[in-house]
């Protein structure tokens, strides 16, 4: 997964229920170590905990209103995170698709912005090291039943809003 957007912003992904942290930048991010504000950390943890309670099969299906509340809360948290991190970041809320939040202002939490910028640089350095140690390697998809290997090409990226490459 790319660490930066095409505009050079650091991408922080946000999704609940998968890793004990709702934030992802190369790997799961510990909320406290990211030096986010204590209020935001508490609310991110509560959002994740609420999601985990919804996964209990013994509780039955959740109401549609709960789904909307969960989505609205996630969007509000993504907006708060974007504000804390400032103009150099994108927050990708991954829930029923992807919503991207950006701030056009300086960070309200400069320490968190510095920590996550350093994390992005570390992830990029690790990727460069892996690429250098495997010359000729690259990303591909493998179909085990057919034995075919598919290598993505930048020229074959899907056109915006479609699932097909431009012609």
What pLDDT score was predicted for residue 152?
67
Q: Are 5 and 11 in contact (CB under 8 A)?
A: yes
The length of the chain in residues reads 167
Residue 40 gets which letter from DSSP?
Answer: H
Q: Say if 145 falls within a structural domain.
A: no
- Residue 90 sits in which domain range? 10-129
Reference 12, options 24, 29, 1, 27; nearest CA is: 24
CB atoms within 10 A of CB 69: 13
Name the domain count of the chain. Answer: 1
Residue at 123 is within a domain: yes
Indicate whether 135 belongs to any domain. no
Tell me whether residue 66 is in a domain. yes
Q: Which residues contact 122 (CB under 8 A, 6 or more apart)?
A: 26
In a domain, 19, yes or no: yes
pLDDT in tens, the chain (167 residues): 789 999 999 999 998 877 778 999 999 999 888 999 999 999 999 998 888 777 777 777 677 888 888 889 999 999 999 999 999 999 999 887 788 999 999 999 999 999 999 999 999 999 888 888 877 766 677 788 888 887 766 444 444 554 444 44
Q: Does residue 5 sit within a domain?
A: no
Taking the C-alpha atoms of residue 101 and residue 107, their distance in angstroms, rounded to an integer, is 14
Residue 148 lies in a domain: no
Q: Rounded to whole angstroms, how far apart are CA atoms 70 and 72?
A: 6
Task: Give residue 19's pLDDT.
Answer: 73
pLDDT of residue 8: 93
pLDDT for 9 equals 96
């Amino acid at each position: 997964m790319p660490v930066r957007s095409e505009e050079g912003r650091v991408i922080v992904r946000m999704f609940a229920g998968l890793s004990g942290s709702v934030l992802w930048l190369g790997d799961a991010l510990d909320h406290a170590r990211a030096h986010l504000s204590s209020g935001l950390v508490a609310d991110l943890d509560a959002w994740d905990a609420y999601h985990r309670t919804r996964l209990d099969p013994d509780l039955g299906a959740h109401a549609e209103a709960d789904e909307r509340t969960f989505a609205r809360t996630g969007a509000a948290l993504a907006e708060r995170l974007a504000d804390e991190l400032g103009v150099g970041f994108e927050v990708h809320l991954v829930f029923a698709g992807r919503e991207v939040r950006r701030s056009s202002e300086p960070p309200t939490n400069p320490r968190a912005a510095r920590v996550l910028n350093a994390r992005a640089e570390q992830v990029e350095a690790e990727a460069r090291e892996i690429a250098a140690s495997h010359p000729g390697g690259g990303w591909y998809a493998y179909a085990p039943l057919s034995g075919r290997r598919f290598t993505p090409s930048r020229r074959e990226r899907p056109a915006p809003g479609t699932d097909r490459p431009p012609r």
